[in-house]
Structure 1
Amino acid sequence: MPRNEFGCELTVSAPPARAWATLTDVPVLVSWISVLEQAEELAHLERYTAVLLDRLGPFKLRADLAITLSDVRIEEHVTVHAEGEDRQVGSRLVVDATLDLEPTDDGWTTVRVAGVYEVSGKVAAMGGGTINRKAEKIIAEFFSNAGKVLGAA
């Protein structure tokens, strides 16, 4: 069962309030990641849904994701838990991550994301390397778009 940790840091020219507003707008974030669609806010800063659509080897995945935010400290920190299952393919995805914002001395913001993801079921048979490359691509998309929207330093 491929399980991997991830983390990345980016300093942006946006002040913490603007960075927070953008980075907690789940429908906007979903638009930044090519394998995610149909984000819906169920309860602001609490519960969301999205759909993961992707192809991995011979598998065409479609997983409805339940996204839960917790430990919310406005303009500072949030913990994210996302999980979903593609019953057709018989695979499950779980992501646990934290988002931390730290103001810099010049009024900018350092954005830190860290977490772990786990894939199980038939897709896990593709092997950790394939899944890890896909995850690295998703993380790179997220930070590339964050840098464009928030002004990478």
Structure 2
Amino acid sequence: MPRSEFGRELTVSAPPAQAWETLIDVPVLVSWISVLEQAEEQQHLERYTAVLLDRLGPFKLRADLAITLSDVRTGEHVTVHAEGEDRQVGSRLVVDATLDLEPAGDGGGTTVRVAGVYEVTGKVAAMGGGTINKKAEKIIGEFFSNAEKVLGAA
């Protein structure tokens, strides 16, 4: 049952208020990640849905994700919980993450920190942790690459 921690930090040129507005726009964030589609806001800053579509080895995954935000401190912190299941393949994905923003020195930019843990269970977990970790690193890389493009390199 692959369960892995992740974390990354990026300093962007956008001021904290602008970075916050962008990074809490879940439909925009979903558009940044190639395996996610169909983001919908159910309740602002609380509940969202999205669909994960991907291929991992012989498995073609389709999981409806329930995304909840909690511990929201406007402009500086949010906790994200996402989970979904592909009943056809018999696999489940759970992601718990935090997003923290803080002013970056005197330059007016923002330091963006994301940290968390993800867990994959079921048949897809049989692919092994290495394969799943590579896929997760790709997704995290897409998120930070797009954050840098949209919010500006510092």
TM-score of the two chains, using structure 1 as the length reference: 0.99
| In 1, Cα distance between equivalents of 2:136 and 2:53 | 13
- 2:110 — aligned with what? 109
| In 2, Cα distance between equivalents of 1:148 and 1:96 | 25
| In 1, Cα distance between equivalents of 2:75 and 2:16 | 6
| In 1, Cα distance between equivalents of 2:29 and 2:153 | 16
SS of residue paired to 1:72: strand
Moved over 2 A (4+): none
| In 1, Cα distance between equivalents of 2:149 and 2:108 | 18
RMSD: 0.4
**Aligned pairs for 1:1-153 within 5 A:** 1-104=1-104, 105-153=106-154
SS of residue paired to 1:75: coil
| In 2, Cα distance between equivalents of 1:102 and 1:46 | 22
**1:5-55 deviations in Å (ceiling 9; x for gaps):** 000000000000000000000000000000000000000000000000000
Structure 1, gaps ≥5 residues long: none
| In 2, Cα distance between equivalents of 1:81 and 1:123 | 20
| In 1, Cα distance between equivalents of 2:13 and 2:57 | 39
**1:90-128 deviations in Å (ceiling 9; x for gaps):** 000000000000012221100000000000000000000
SS of residue paired to 1:96: strand
SS of residue paired to 2:108: coil
Q: Percent identity?
A: 90
Letter in 2 for 1:89: V
| In 2, Cα distance between equivalents of 1:26 and 1:71 | 16
Task: Give 1:152 deviation, angstroms.
Answer: 1.5
Q: Which moved more, 1:101-110 or 1:21-30?
A: 101-110
Structure 2, gaps ≥5 residues long: none
Letter in 2 for 1:130: T
